[in-house]
Amino acid sequence: MIKKILCMGSINIDLVMYMSKLPTAGETVVTDNFQTFSGGKGGNQAATASLLGGNVKYFTKLGTDNFSKELISKQIEYGVDMSNIIIEPDSTAGIAMIRVDESGQNSISFTPGANSLLTPEDVEKNAHIFDDCDILLITMEIQNETVYKAIEIAKSKDMIVVLDPAPAPENGIPDDIAKLVDYTKPNETEAQILTGIKISDMETSKFALRRLKEKGFKSPIITLSNAGAITYDEEQLYFIEPLKVNSIDSTAAGDVFIGAFTAALSKGESYKECLRFAKTAAAFSTKVKGAQSSIPNLNELTEYLNGQDQI
């Protein structure tokens, strides 16, 4: 039976500009290429997990503005259960301003809107939402203390916890919370913040991975952009080879990775198979512009993976 996923984190409108290069401080780069997408790390991950076969419901706060209504409708269209959303009067959805250069690299500015108003008390009052779920998939674009309370409640109910530590808290994640996390996926920057180790090559990546393990994270995965990712498989260092594709926009690749990973996990797949599914979904997502619009088709992924050697 497929395990049920509870997703928490930010859900936003993405306002995206595509340009030849990212501007430096004080520089104006002119472009006539502007698009609006549904986004937010939590929203992207929920949409991915649902579209790739997961049974997903969402919990957060949204506002009374048209963006909030649009975001709820879009998630329902993706198959996500949005019946537990708290509507905050006179508030707005979160908004992300995203610039993408011609190589697919991006720069993001973000205002959280109603996302930031979800409190630990809200989570405690709604703890019943966790009761019929098996996996918590959560990001840190909401209050840190709200994330920690959700993790504590999830673990008290014997749920699997999947944490995307983005953006990573400046002071790191408390060790008592780290010990409750089953899977976490920082990128190089987030891993550096969490461990204090500057990642510049594979060796420093290994040091950071070991430090995450020492802090209590059971199965840390450090994604290394175009260089793939590293983790442990049964205490052995395991390198995840990158999948080479014609990338045009990496905006939601990390979200697609963890959303796909969680969808595969909910179906009872092995750790290696979850990673294989996740890396392929993330790579495919970079071939299409946008965040949720770039989530690959499940049939397309399955057909591709069935024709490949196992990792």
pLDDT value, residue 244: 82
Q: Catalytic residue among 14, 164, 249, 255, which?
A: 255
CB 245 within 8 A of CB 287: yes
272-306: per-residue pLDDT in tens? 999 999 999 999 998 887 778 889 999 989 988 98
- The residues facing 61 across adjacent strands are 86
pLDDT value, residue 96: 81
pLDDT value, residue 103: 85
pLDDT value, residue 76: 97
pLDDT value, residue 311: 40
The question of whether 134 is a catalytic residue gets the answer: no
Structure tokens given for 157:
């109910």
pLDDT value, residue 245: 84
**End-to-end distance of the chain based on CA atoms, in angstroms?**
25
pLDDT value, residue 111: 82
Structure tokens given for 263:
């969808």
Rounded Cα distance, 167 and 175, in Å: 17
Residues of the chain with pLDDT under 50: 310-311
pLDDT value, residue 310: 44
pLDDT value, residue 185: 97
Rounded Cα distance, 225 and 69, in Å: 34
**Domain 4-22+33-295 belongs to what architecture?**
3-Layer(aba) Sandwich (3.40)
